[in-house]
Amino acid sequence: MSILAEDISWTIGAKSILDAVSFQARPGEMLGLLGPNGSGKTSLLRLLAGLKQPRAGRVLLDGKDIRSIPRKAIARRLAFVEQHAATNQNLKVADVVKLGRFPHRSMFSGWTAADDAAVDRALARAGMAGKRDDRWQSLSGGERQRAHIARALAQDPSELILDEPTNHLDIQHQIGLLSLIADLPVTSIIALHDINHAAMFCDRLLVLKEGRIVAEGTPRDVLTEEMLREVFKVKAQVDLPSADERPHVHFLRPAGNE
């Protein structure tokens, strides 16, 4: 068992954001989270990372309620990359990535060769080794996102939670980043907007609509024309190649009066 959500509910005022959401992220899998804007994806990810507490239900990390685990202990194994992560100071890229090593250090421990190796490895994996001495304010939006992903990788996590991490990247870096995540020996839960990217890289998919899970399973099982019409309000044709290949979604242009 890696991450288990049991009947999670979350509200803002009188508005229900998540309603009795239950699922399990299996060890080592890449679990994709899909849903239209406002379906509750970001709130769910923040609950899974322990940054919010559910109004009802619980999140378990290897069978233990995440609320009973010290924050630093969570950070030693679980990394969270937000959709709009920010760094206010004009640090060097390497210094931003070094922040990912904080959970592994005590108040009295110095910087070690193992810390240097973890930072170098994370920069290389995120494609930012050549930018390590650049200042934060000089980076593009996509480069900043990759730097934050490198910081998360420097934590050496066994669970990685990402909220639409490819939003600011060009297509080359979108594919490269998703390939990187898919190849990591970690459990990853990733919210995505691009349905074909989810089909291409994710082992399983969860689909949220109005705070509830309405579909769960492999991309072949989940990505149906009916689901896309009912949840995303689009017409599409889903190609299902041979049994060992991923589905591909062709979106259809609506008629002029639709």
What is the distance between the alpha carbons of residues 226 and 242, in angstroms, rounded to a whole number? 21
213 in a structural domain: yes
Mean pLDDT by 10 residues, the chain (258 residues): 90 92 95 95 94 93 92 90 71 92 79 91 92 91 86 93 87 87 91 96 97 96 96 94 85 75
Residues 11 and 69 in one domain: yes
Q: Which of 123, 138, 156 is the last residue in one of the domains?
A: 156
Tell me how many domains the chain contains.
2
Question: How many Å apart are CA 132 and CA 136, to the nearest integer?
Answer: 10
Q: Which CATH number covers residue 69?
A: 3.40.50.300
Is residue 36 within 8 Å of 207, Cβ to Cβ? no
pTM value is 0.89
37 and 146 both lie in a single domain: no
Give the per-residue pLDDT at 105: 78
Q: Do residues 29 and 152 both lie within one domain?
A: no
Considering the domain boundaries, does residue 248 fall inside one?
A: no
Question: Is 231 inside any structural domain?
Answer: no
Instruction: Based on the fold, state whether residues 168 and 194 are members of the same structural domain.
Output: yes
Q: Is residue 73 located within the same domain as residue 175?
A: yes
Question: What residues make up the domain containing 127?
Answer: 88-156
Q: What is the pLDDT of residues 3-34, one digit of tens each?
A: 999 999 999 888 999 999 999 999 999 999 99
Domain end marker among 102, 124, 156: 156
d(CA 206, CA 8): 15
Q: What is the pLDDT of residue 89?
A: 73
Considering the domain architecture, whether residues 92 and 149 belong to the same structural domain is answered as: yes
Same domain for 95 and 135, yes or no, is yes
